Structure 1
Amino acid sequence: MLILGATGSAGRMAIQIAKLFGAARVIAAGRDTARLATLAALGADETITFDKIDRAADADVVLDYVWGEASAQAMLPLLTARADRGAPMTWIQIGSMAGELAAIPSVALRGPGCRSSAAASAPSPRATSWPSCRPSPRRWRPAASTCRPTPYP
């Protein structure tokens, strides 16, 4: 698993959750080298800056808290450096700390290896007309851990 934006609060939590749920290898990527240096203590197996993103090319899942130009520039190197270019890579776009827009080349999305999805961190304005889009805290089932969810309406 590769976590883009691992130095932020959500990214730091994602490292721990990935390990808790059994991720064999977690690669944490970010821009702040001082904060990257602290992530091994949270469970990151490797930390990289965006200029070394091809080191994470064989990750099967990418959690993207960054988006924007940083993600746009990372996608092709990740896909083209894979040992098996046909192996699936699931790109989950969660945040947009580096920008709302990312100019992704269409070839990156058409290739056999990339599957993408998006997760909303907060209900969008459309959620009022699409009830199925609203997050439901009641669907959460806590794992056997010390983490316990706090439901919010």
Structure 2
Amino acid sequence: MRCPFCQNEDTQVKDSRPTDDKSSIRRRRFCAGCGARFTTFERVQLRELTVIKKAGRRVPFDRLKLERSLDIALRKRPVESERVDRMINGIVRRLESMGENEVEVEDIGNLVMEGLAGLDQVAYVRYASVYKNFREASDFVNFLHNINTNDGEGD
């Protein structure tokens, strides 16, 4: 594993332990070159996923992009990072277990919406505003009305 600070490839694992949800291994590493310590995570990957974008373009699935979009939706919300990690792991497992190597971007968005609906209503609305491309205030009003009418089932 290359050191993120000095790019030295001579790093050593000092400690390994499973994460709380047992979905990955947390490894503390030490760089022999610069003496820095850093953490890496090892996860099981069932298959290489390709995302089919709305315009038909195909791109590799990027777990970090999913994490970043959830970080934005959940910014300044009182949600524990462990719950977010469990949600992300669940989404990735569901995508991998669909049996297909290609997944539509809408499928990912729907899984995120489903997860956020049960995690945090404000983050759910924030994510929906981007995912559903809200253009004016009435889009928010209609979405919120549908949430209240359908008890969070979506629009």
TM-score (norm 1): 0.24
TM-score (norm 2): 0.23
The higher radius of gyration belongs to 2
The structure where helix makes up a greater share of residues is 2
Q: Could you say which structure has the greater relative contact order, defined with CA pairs below 8 angstroms and 6 or more residues apart? A: 1
The structure where strand makes up a greater share of residues is 2
